[in-house]
Each structure stands twice: as structure tokens, then as C-alpha cells.
Structure 1
């Protein structure tokens, strides 16, 4: 019996050297959804470029045998950020009065799902952050609700709803402390 390859986590604060790996991995992760406008590779590339230029941008890419297998990225959001402005109902000052980290995207290639890799990428990403809270948005219909339930199992709680763009479905905004309790 052969053992699974070791996973190496690499941190990046700019997209220059990794944009191709991010796009390639995203296309594999989201393959069943790529026909939808909000999930198209070009739309993701535009979002990635915009997010990559925002304050506090960080990406964690996971590699096995020097091949990208998953990623997480996010950036710092502050009071008044459009992220909070689009969240309804308006979040409590407890969450918005100090910088938070918005986990904008997390994905793991299908052959690595169910192995704990997504949680390892998530926790590695958060270990590098100074903010007190992490927030994310999830499509409540993703995986017939399984993705939302997964985030709940990681300690996230529902905070509200948001529709980041006209092409986006209404998403559930979730939040938790950056350090697991």
C-alpha cells in the first residue's frame, strides 16, 4: 500500500507567480458549475485580480507532488467595506468595528475531497492572520446544503445574506473567530 503524498502549503501575497495555478485549480474544482456566469473561469479571473489588489490579500496554495491541489484566499475588510454594506441585516459592530478577514474562496480538487485537506488549507490560511474574525459567503444550495453544514462544523455561524453581484445567487454570510474555540 502506498501512502498519500505529503501536502506542502505555500503562502503568497501577490498573484504574479501563481495566477495560472489558481485558475487551473479553480477550473477543476468548479468544473460542474463553469457554465453558470458567476462561476465562469473568466469571471473568477476578474474577481481574483480585483481581490488580489485589495488590502491584506493572502493566498495559501496546497501542493502534492508539486501539483496544486487546493487553495484558499482572502483579504482584510474594515468597517464600511462594501462586503459589510451588502450584508443584510447589517452586522453588529462587534464584527465590523475592527478589521476582519474575508475568506473569499476555498477549493479542493475532487480527488482530495473528504480527506480533511480543505480544513487543513483553511486552518493554515487563518494561522497567518491577525484579525479577530473571519467571514465567508456560501451558496446555501451548494452540495444540497452540505457545504453550509461543513462550514457550521468548522465553527461558522450564519450572520446574514448578501448578493455580491447581479449574476450571483443570494449567499449566506457566515462568521467565526479566527482561532478555533
Structure 2
């Protein structure tokens, strides 16, 4: 089922197109997180849908979906952190004031990046990631990664991210490694 990289098409979507692609985002999430959904309510489809709605409440929200023919193979989505964001408030060890100062245009938060099993190990995740970051005006990008997945954390480090500390964004969420990378 894995296709040569040349047959894949990456499509960018803005906030005005969310309603059209929401079913694809939710369906892929349910597939990729199937093993976690029944074990932990935090990973339920309903909770994901709530988080997606919150993430997409910002006009800067964008997604990139990879298609192999007409089949969605993976996606990523992000938006800029607003001036009065709560993103940094959940750090286990507070960061310096200058590190957490937001303008609404300083930091892009990468909320989700996932690739379906048949396309894993093909470099598709990095292609989606880099396409999403291309042409963004923010100076840096941040994301959260579960330290229980060290291969994923190592992958992000190979893409230029560095771990700046742990955070727990919701009381029932795992403690995530917060990672940061310059965009320019």
C-alpha cells in the first residue's frame, strides 16, 4: 500500500475550509490513536474534537493533508499562539519571561502531526511538517511530544527541535516534552 513519494499530493487548508476537512481529520485521528482511545479518556475522539475546535478558534489555523490518490495518508495542523496564550502556563518549571512573551505572531504551535501506518517510515511526516511550516511568518514553532515515544522525540530533534521542559496542558493529559525550533 505504500506508494512512491511522487504520487503523494500535499494540500494546504485554511480555517475557512475546516468544515470540509474536519471528517478527514477526525477519521485519521481515530485510526492512528485506536490503541489509546479505549485505554485513556484523554485520547477519546470526543476529546480530540474538542481540542480541534479550540485549536481552530484562531484565524491563523492551517492544516496540510497528504493524499495518495484520493486517500488521506496523514496531516498536520497548527496556528499562532495568541498574545494572551495559556500555552506556557502549564510548564512544570516556568521559563524566563522573554521566552514566553507572545505577540500573536511570534510562535506557531504545531498541535497535531500524524501519518497512517502504511505511509510511516517513508519520510511523509517530515514532508507534511515542512510544507506546513513553509511560508509561515512566525519566528519559531513549538510542539508537545509524549516522552513515552522516544523515537518520535528523537525524530523531532533531528528536525531541529530542542526540548525546553515538561508541561501538562490538561489535568488528565500526559506530561509532555515541550519542544521549540526556530523558523528563520
TM-score of the pair, normalised by structure 2 = 0.89
Aligned length: 176
Task: Provide structure 2 residue ranges, at least 5 long, that are not aligned to the other structure.
Answer: none
Conserved in 2, the CA contact under 8 Å of 1:84 and 1:96? no
Structure 1 position 76 matched with structure 2 position 73: no
Task: Provide structure 1 residue ranges, at least 5 long, that are not aligned to the other structure.
Answer: none
Q: What is aligned with 2:164?
A: 159
RMSD: 1.8
Q: What is aligned with 2:13?
A: 12
CA distance in 2, matches of 1:96, 1:152: 23
Q: What is aligned with 2:65?
A: 61
SS in 1 for 2:60: coil
> Displacement of 1:37 after TM fit?
1.1
CA gap of 1:94–1:76, structure 2 versus 1, over 3 A, is same
SS in 1 for 2:10: strand
CA gap of 1:17–1:49, structure 2 versus 1, over 3 A, is same
TM-score of the pair, normalised by structure 1 = 0.90
> 1:84-103 to 2 correspondence within 5 Å?
84-92=88-96, 93-94=98-99, 96-98=101-103, 99-103=106-110
Match of 1:38 among 38, 42, 45: 42
SS in 2 for 1:161: strand
CA distance in 2, matches of 1:31, 1:73: 20
> Displacement of 1:91 after TM fit?
3.0
CA distance in 1, matches of 2:94, 2:50: 27
